[in-house]
């Protein structure tokens, strides 16, 4: 039975689903680089490309049309913005670029920041008192530390993703170096203010200081370890805070010097508006807004469609309270509203919702359809299956061993990429880098269009959808008889896409996201009949060399709850003794009439449906639930009396 259970876990979708692959969609291009776009808008924002180089590392990349429209709508036309393009469409860039543009313009007037104080990292000395993170800056003396943008998310998981993007944008080495050279050592500060942000309480409390000292000490060690690990990819470090970067360390630091960009959720914002300890953050922001009518406050709301009904009404009132605390009316020209939504069409009803939710009506709803792949392009890939199979065997010969991604710079990989280019019928020139020629070859045979075509067709829509790897593999290369999740041809194609790079902007010819789904096993069920003949898994196990064979005390195992087995036997909860491994059955007690006599029965589900409203607890108590030990008459220790097995 243990072997059968192992087989169920190994060869079915009980513990996990096959991976889903989601190719990044392609949208119409604006044919403008960021630098070109800025010159068309205003020279005031000329430094935006330098500040945004962490967000858009390649200056030659053309903005998508909706990204250009978003930038122009906010900076040139002064309208609010709602971006409704799909996943992977660069909505983050649509939202962050206008904010960064305004910060690049304003930061030109900031006073230079003097060097940090000697005791800035106060937690290293057990006798030191708490010191504010940015108290030493010229902005502190000028009073220009204020919240320039509040980013609201409905879920903390989305906050984490946005933090990673902000670290990549504002804490990259290139941006920090530019800020040192061009902004007098100032930083564009940002911080997460949620229940996970250390620490609660007021500055000065000894216990709170010690808790914060411990947290910051651990954070410093973690930050140094991540940035000192040469084996990690460059992107991994942005999942962790940089203790020497622009990210705020604690609540106390943000209360003393509010961050330029504050990330939180509506529940926390509501609490902040009610408490005195955070009042200074709003007062400093209000004073900064009143100091110069040209200063802009950005209200950014992600997943706008989630704020509907009563909950949406409450959030709408919270936003009005926020504006009131900042001295802004909903119609203020100093207020800029940016929002994203994947399901908000440009319709009168949508505009009515925007007007009622925000209290103003100057929105531009920006959307864009994906550029479709070439129709039926997936049908051309099967002819290249053998070439991709050979490539997979060359760069990753042992697929079952613990794997690291192949090194595209190794001699083996370079030779394999060159041979694949030739096998695909493409040419290489003298001095060409293998990863660049492979990218060009993949584009020439339509590998990018092929994958997007399958993901488009499988979803039955006009947009690329995440698709099971097994379905993608079958459509591109035919049936999979290997016993593995993917054929070697599919593996080779994915490896080729991952190892190749476009020469122009250093990205894969078709970036792909992988989605992996796992869940814990809540229970397993078993047929109570030892004569059950419906166990296909048992037949497979019995056919293996050294298989257990024979008949056990129970029948077929089931990974999903059901009343009866295919053999007609009763299905009950499977219970196994952790000490001896013996098998027991569990079920809810019920009554049945057999030949005019009342008998007690067991069922995997509660049999008395009429009493369900009274069962408010899921607990299994003796009066409701019984454990049955299938001890047969041939058992030598069947005392005090042998139990007849029945199902």
Averaged pLDDT, groups of 10, the chain, 647 residues long: 77 81 92 94 95 88 93 93 87 93 95 90 90 91 91 82 90 94 96 92 87 94 84 76 95 96 94 96 97 95 90 94 96 96 88 94 91 89 96 84 74 94 86 89 95 76 85 94 88 95 85 88 86 65 55 81 88 89 88 86 74 58 84 54 42
Residue whose C-alpha is closest to residue 91's, from 41, 151, 176: 151
Rounded to 5°, angle at Cα 294 from 289 and 300? 65
Residue found under tokens 């869940």: 519
Alpha carbon of 466 to those of 18, 454, 463, 484, 509: distances in Å? Answer: 12, 10, 10, 20, 18
Strands (E), 57-111: 80-83
pLDDT at position 619 is 65
The pair of structure tokens assigned to 417 is: 């990429």
pLDDT at position 11 is 67
pLDDT at position 635 is 52
Alpha carbon of 337 to those of 30, 169, 192: distances in Å? Answer: 23, 21, 20
Helix axes 309-325, 279-291, angle to 10 degrees: 60
Q: Are 586 and 573 in contact (CB under 8 A)?
A: yes
Residue whose C-alpha is closest to residue 566's, from 601, 592, 531: 531
| Backbone φ, ψ for residue 13 (5° rounding) | -100, 40
- pTM for this predicted structure: 0.78
Residue found under tokens 């858009």: 56
pLDDT at position 155 is 76
pLDDT at position 645 is 40
Whether the CA torsion 39, 45, 51, 56 is positive or negative: it is negative
pLDDT at position 561 is 85
Whether the CA torsion 579, 580, 585, 589 is positive or negative: it is negative
Q: Are 347 and 367 in contact (CB under 8 A)?
A: no
3-class secondary-structure state, position 47: coil
CA 325 to chain centre: 33
Whether the link from the prior residue into 519 is cis, omega within 30° of 0, is no
- CA–CA distance, 290 with 300 (Å, rounded to integer): 21
**Burial class of 636 by CB neighbour count within 10 A (0 to 12, 13 to 18, 19+):** exposed
Q: Are 341 and 303 in contact (CB under 8 A)?
A: yes
Q: Are 459 and 480 in contact (CB under 8 A)?
A: no
Q: Are 261 and 99 in contact (CB under 8 A)?
A: yes
């Amino acid at each position: 039975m243990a072997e059968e259970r192992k087989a169920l876990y190994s060869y079915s979708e009980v513990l996990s689903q096959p991976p889903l692959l989601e190719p990044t969609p392609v949208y119409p291009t604006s044919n403008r680089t960021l630098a070109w776009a800025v010159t068309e808008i205003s020279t005031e924002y000329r430094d935006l490309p330098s500040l945004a180089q962490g967000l858009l590392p390649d200056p030659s990349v053309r903005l998508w049309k909706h990204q250009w429209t978003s930038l122009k709508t906010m900076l040139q036309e002064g309208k609010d913005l709602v971006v409704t393009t799909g996943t992977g469409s660069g909505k983050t860039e649509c939202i962050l670029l206008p904010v960064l543009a305004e910060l690049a313009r304003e930061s030109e007037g900031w006073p230079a920041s003097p060097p940090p104080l000697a005791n800035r990292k106060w937690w290293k000395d057990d006798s030191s008192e708490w010191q504010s993170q940015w108290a030493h800056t010229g902005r502190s003396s000028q009073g220009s530390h204020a919240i320039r943008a509040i980013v609201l998310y409905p879920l903390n998981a989305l906050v984490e993703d946005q933090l990673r993007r902000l670290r990549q944008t504002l804490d990259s080495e290139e941006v920090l170096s530019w800020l040192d050279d061009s902004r007098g050592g100032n930083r564009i500060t940002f911080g997460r203010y949620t229940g996970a942000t250390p620490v609660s309480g007021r500055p000065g409390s000894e216990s709170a200081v010690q808790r914060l000292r411990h947290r910051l000490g651990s954070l410093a060690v973690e930050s140094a370890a991540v940035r000192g690990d040469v084996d990690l990819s460059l992107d991994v470090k942005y999942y962790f805070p940089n203790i020497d970067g622009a990210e705020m360390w604690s609540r106390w630091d943000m209360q003393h010097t509010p961050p330029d960009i504050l990330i939180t959720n509506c529940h926390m914002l509501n609490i902040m508006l009610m408490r005195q300890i955070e009042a200074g953050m709003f007062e400093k922001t209000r004073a900064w807004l009143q100091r110069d009518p040209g200063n802009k406050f950005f209200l950014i709301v992600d997943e706008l469609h989630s704020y509907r009904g009563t909950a949406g009404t409450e959030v709408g009132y919270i936003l009005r309270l926020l504006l009131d605390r900042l001295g802004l009316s909903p119609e203020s020209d100093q207020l800029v509203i940016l929002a994203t939504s994947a399901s908000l069409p440009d319709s009168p009803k949508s505009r009515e919702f925007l007007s009622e939710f925000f209290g103003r009506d100057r929105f531009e709803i920006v959307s864009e359809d994906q550029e479709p792949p070439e129709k039926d392009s997936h049908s051309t890939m099967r002819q290249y299956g053998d070439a991709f199979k050979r490539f997979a065997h060359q760069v990753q010969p042992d697929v079952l061993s613990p794997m690291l991604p192949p090194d595209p710079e190794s001699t083996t990989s370079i030779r394999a990429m060159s041979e694949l280019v030739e096998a695909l019928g493409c040419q290489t020139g003298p001095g060409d880098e293998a990863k660049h020629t492979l990218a060009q070859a993949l584009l020439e045979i339509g590998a990018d269009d092929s994958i997007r075509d399958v993901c488009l067709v499988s979803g039955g829509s006009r947009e690329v959808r995440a698709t099971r790897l097994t379905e993608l593999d079958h459509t591109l290369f035919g049936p999979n008889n290997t016993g593995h999740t993917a054929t070697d041809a599919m593996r080779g194609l994915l490896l080729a896409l991952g190892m190749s790079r476009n020469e122009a902007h250093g990205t894969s010819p078709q970036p792909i996201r992988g989605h992996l789904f796992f869940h814990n096993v809540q229970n397993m069920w078993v047929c109570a009949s030892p004569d059950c003949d419906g166990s296909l898994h048992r037949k497979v196990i019995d056919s293996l060399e050294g298989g257990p064979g024979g008949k056990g005390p129970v029948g077929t195992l089931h990974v999903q709850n059901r009343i009866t087995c295919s053999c007609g036997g009763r299905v009950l909860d499977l219970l196994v003794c952790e000490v001896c491994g013996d098998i027991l059955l569990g079920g809810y007690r019920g009554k049945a009439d057999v030949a005019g006599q009342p008998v007690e029965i067991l069922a995997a589900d509660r049999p008395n449906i009429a009493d369900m409203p009274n069962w408010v607890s899921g607990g299994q108590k003796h009066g409701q639930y019984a454990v049955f030990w299938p001890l047969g008459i041939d058992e030598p220790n069947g005392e005090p009396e042998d139990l007849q097995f029945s199902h």
